[in-house]
Chains A and B, each alone.
Chain A
Amino acid sequence: MTAEAAKKQKLSVPFDYSKYLRGGKLPHIWCPGCGHGIILKALLRAIDKIGLTNDEICMVSGIGCSSRTPGYVDFNTMHTLHGRALSYATGIKMANPDLNLIVTTGDGDALAIGGNHFIHTCRRNIDMTILVYSNSIYGMTGGQFSPTTPEGSKTSTSPYGAMEPNFDCCELAKASGATFVARATSYHVAELERTIKAAIEHKGTSVVEILDQCPIYFGRQNKYKSASHMMEMIEKDGTVSVKQVDKLPPEKLEGKLLRGILHQVEGEEYCDKYAKIIEKAQD
């Protein structure tokens, strides 16, 4: 078979998601147009590319729409308390450093109620991948503003427009000490998969903020016509790839969020460091 024919055949074989999904747990609870399913799909494809087995992964979440992800996947999974996923994950990782920890969380879960755990997890540089499904809203409770809601946005608790400035999740992660920080979107699916793969492969705390749309609660209140309209406006037109930054004039970058791997450095991982403490104590 020629290389081209092989490529063609490979393309024609649909990706087998079933090996990662738990039988009988679908359909998921996410609303039509929600981007969470796209993220899950990219995550599973990234896991497949890396070649991790289901036993090697432990997925932990807090509370919210994004935090329902672990219920659908056939890994070691834990659905914990609002904001606390990273603390539970830290305990699991310390107890069993061989596990690959993936935390699925939302903007409210990670950055509001879990904000303290978020910055300290980043500071420790413990090896885990934090996927922040960032849709600027508390979806599960019906559309209240979150720490990533853009100022002026209407939500059920900001009927006159959100008055608080919003967090930049990636800047926060970087400043807190995370050694891998990236931003992706549910619009750029191939890039999303590559970014998640790089995040999992990175040793240390990896944070990926994934811009994601909530057409039901954020979209409707803020005059977006549809999910695809949101994806185009917020995720496509609202972002610029880090690879293009140098090529674009400053006016084209105004008000845009950067996409791609924004920060990656090597840093000693927490469990590795702890292993040295054990050696020292036993010496």
Chain B
Amino acid sequence: MAKVKRFMQGNEACAEGALYAGCNFFAGYPITPSTEIAEILGYQLPKIGGKWIQMEDEIASIAATIGGSLGGCKALTATSGPGLSLKQEGLGYAAMAEIPCVIINVMRGGPSTGYPTGPSQSDMMTAKWGTHGDHPVIALTPSTVPEILTETVRAFNLAEKYRMPVFVFYDEIVGHMREPVEIPEPGDLEIVDRAKPTCKPEDYKPYDSNFEIAPLAAYGKDGYRFHVTGLNHGDDGFPTNDSKRIDQGCRSIMAKIENNLDDILKNETVDMDDAEIVLFAYGSTARSASFAQRKAREKGIKAGLFRPLTMWPFPEKAIREAAKKAKVFIVPEMNLGQMSLEVERCAPGIEVKGINRVDGEPINPAQILECIEKYK
């Protein structure tokens, strides 16, 4: 039987993906261009007995999201640049205390209030470095409306599996674009739930270093009492001044990413085998890049497309590999050069050419094709 297809907006697909993943808690604050996610979930979550709350500000909404997760829910919040700035302390807390949650960031022009209704991709480094201290980051970057649905599901799975905040970052264009989306049936996509402890209550340690990722109990639901803090802590969750344990804690939250790159990384490549000109593109910009790449091939130019769906952790190994054959990387992005810096880092000695727009207009295929032709 043919799958149900619906014509829907990116933000709508995000809400659909969240519900498919089992999201039953949302706390948010109105902000353009992500508000539709809050609105749709405000309508849908009560229908399935889920919890939804509009908090007094962005800081409170990430805090309530983390609280909801510790209360045993699959928790989500959605925002845009200015809200993302405010959420940073909570994001650091979730990384430090290892609390699963998903954060959608629909990117608009910045800095500051910027261009609320215009697209950008200028929060990519905020995703990586926004909150203070060394912390793990997973950020997914879908390019299409159907992908927003599936990547939102993947974000929940990664958050629950690795006990950490996971971002889905997409620009306003994809967020407000409408495309046909095939609605997955239950069972079509994998759903991951967080591991629960099975030990005796008195033996439970929420940060048990015998596990790579310790099981997480819910407050008041699973029969375990435990302590959570944003301070450096020991296996039992209590603050510690033991320098060895502090070191171990700081490294272990990073190691869960580094040791599981194969599981976390995801990208799409087109004609990369012999690519001399590599387009590195994500979000709506990847759509223009994809068109330009096809046109270039039609003209006999050895162009390829590398499209990361996981932007953080950065696909370092794959870029190093591509750099062996490439003579240039072209990185179109709606910012003044953010991910191009990472490409440069992983492709030493190879030219990295940015195509950058910060005028609130998309980067069009002709612009990219023109750039490709300069390097043929």
Does B197 interact with chain A (Cβ within 8 Å)? no
Q: Please indicate the chain B residues that have their CB under 8 angstroms from the CB of A60 in the complex.
A: 67
Does B225 interact with chain A (Cβ within 8 Å)? yes
Nearest chain-A residue to B25 (Cβ)? A95
Does A44 interact with chain B (Cβ within 8 Å)? no
Does B6 interact with chain A (Cβ within 8 Å)? no
Q: How far is the CA of A177 from the CA of B57 in the complex (A)?
A: 18
Does B64 interact with chain A (Cβ within 8 Å)? yes
Q: Please indicate the chain B residues that have their CB under 8 angstroms from the CB of A79 in the complex.
A: 227-231, 239
Among the 9-residue stretches A143-151, A205-213, A275-283, the one with 4 or more Cβ atoms under 8 Å from chain B is A275-283
Does B350 interact with chain A (Cβ within 8 Å)? no
Given A55-B220, A81-B230, A84-B59, the answer on whether A90 and B49 have CB atoms closer than 8 Å is no
The reply to whether A94 and B230 contact each other, CB–CB distance below 8 Å, is: no
Q: Please indicate the chain B residues that have their CB under 8 angstroms from the CB of A81 in the complex.
A: 63, 89-90, 93, 230
Q: Please indicate the chain A residues that have their CB under 8 angstroms from the CB of B238 in the complex.
A: 25, 71
Say whether chain B's binding surface is mostly helix, strand, loop, or mixed: mixed
Interface of chain B residues 184 through 238 with chain A (CB within 8 A)? 218-221, 223, 225-231, 238
Of B49, B56, B64, B227, the residue contacting A91 (CB under 8 A) is B64
Q: How far is the CA of A197 from the CA of B65 in the complex (A)?
A: 29
B203 to chain A, nearest CB (A): 14
Does A202 interact with chain B (Cβ within 8 Å)? no
Q: How far is the CA of A79 from the CA of B93 in the complex (A)?
A: 10
Interface string of B61-74 (1 = CB under 8 A from A): 10111111111110
Interface string of B92-113 (1 = CB under 8 A from A): 0100000000000000000000
Q: How far is the CA of A91 from the CA of B193 in the complex (A)?
A: 19
Does A87 interact with chain B (Cβ within 8 Å)? yes
Say whether chain A's binding surface is mostly helix, strand, loop, or mixed: helix
Interface of chain A residues 57 through 105 with chain B (CB within 8 A)? 58, 60, 70-71, 74-81, 84, 87-96, 98-99
Does A236 interact with chain B (Cβ within 8 Å)? no
Q: Please indicate the chain B residues that have their CB under 8 angstroms from the CB of A117 in the complex.
A: 56, 60, 63
Does A232 interact with chain B (Cβ within 8 Å)? no
Q: Please indicate the chain A residues that have their CB under 8 angstroms from the CB of B47 in the complex.
A: 281-282
Does A56 interact with chain B (Cβ within 8 Å)? yes
Residue of A88, A120, A277 with most partner-chain B CB within 10 A:
A88
The reply to whether B55 and A87 contact each other, CB–CB distance below 8 Å, is: yes
Does B27 interact with chain A (Cβ within 8 Å)? yes
The reply to whether B220 and A98 contact each other, CB–CB distance below 8 Å, is: yes
Given A81-B230, A95-B51, A96-B221, the answer on whether A116 and B71 have CB atoms closer than 8 Å is no
The reply to whether A78 and B225 contact each other, CB–CB distance below 8 Å, is: no
Given A95-B72, A96-B219, A280-B46, the answer on whether A88 and B64 have CB atoms closer than 8 Å is yes
Does B272 interact with chain A (Cβ within 8 Å)? no
Does A54 interact with chain B (Cβ within 8 Å)? yes
Q: Please indicate the chain B residues that have their CB under 8 angstroms from the CB of A99 in the complex.
A: 71, 219-220
Given A80-B93, A282-B46, the answer on whether A92 and B230 have CB atoms closer than 8 Å is no
What is the interface size of chain B, counting residues whose CB is below 8 A from a CB of the partner? 43
The reply to whether A87 and B229 contact each other, CB–CB distance below 8 Å, is: no
Does B53 interact with chain A (Cβ within 8 Å)? yes
Does A274 interact with chain B (Cβ within 8 Å)? yes
The reply to whether B67 and A92 contact each other, CB–CB distance below 8 Å, is: yes
Q: Please indicate the chain B residues that have their CB under 8 angstroms from the CB of A25 in the complex.
A: 238
Nearest chain-B residue to A124 (Cβ)? B53
Q: Please indicate the chain B residues that have their CB under 8 angstroms from the CB of A80 in the complex.
A: 63, 93, 230
The reply to whether B227 and A90 contact each other, CB–CB distance below 8 Å, is: no
B126 to chain A, nearest CB (A): 19
Interface string of B314-334 (1 = CB under 8 A from A): 000000000000000000000
Of B64, B73, B225, the residue contacting A90 (CB under 8 A) is B64
Nearest chain-A residue to B227 (Cβ)? A77
B68 to chain A, nearest CB (A): 4
Does B75 interact with chain A (Cβ within 8 Å)? yes
Nearest chain-B residue to A116 (Cβ)? B56
The reply to whether A91 and B27 contact each other, CB–CB distance below 8 Å, is: yes
Nearest chain-A residue to B219 (Cβ)? A76
The reply to whether A88 and B66 contact each other, CB–CB distance below 8 Å, is: yes
The reply to whether A89 and B67 contact each other, CB–CB distance below 8 Å, is: yes
Q: Please indicate the chain A residues that have their CB under 8 angstroms from the CB of B72 in the complex.
A: 95-96
B303 to chain A, nearest CB (A): 48
The reply to whether B56 and A120 contact each other, CB–CB distance below 8 Å, is: yes
Q: Please indicate the chain B residues that have their CB under 8 angstroms from the CB of A93 in the complex.
A: 67, 71
Nearest chain-A residue to B231 (Cβ)? A79
Chain B residues with CB under 8 Å of chain A are 25, 27, 43, 46-47, 49, 51, 53, 55-57, 59-61, 63-73, 75, 89-90, 93, 218-221, 223, 225-231, 238-239
17 contacts between A and B (CB under 8 A): A71-B229, A77-B226, A78-B229, A79-B229, A84-B90, A87-B59, A88-B63, A88-B64, A90-B53, A91-B67, A91-B70, A92-B70, A92-B219, A94-B51, A96-B72, A99-B219, A274-B51
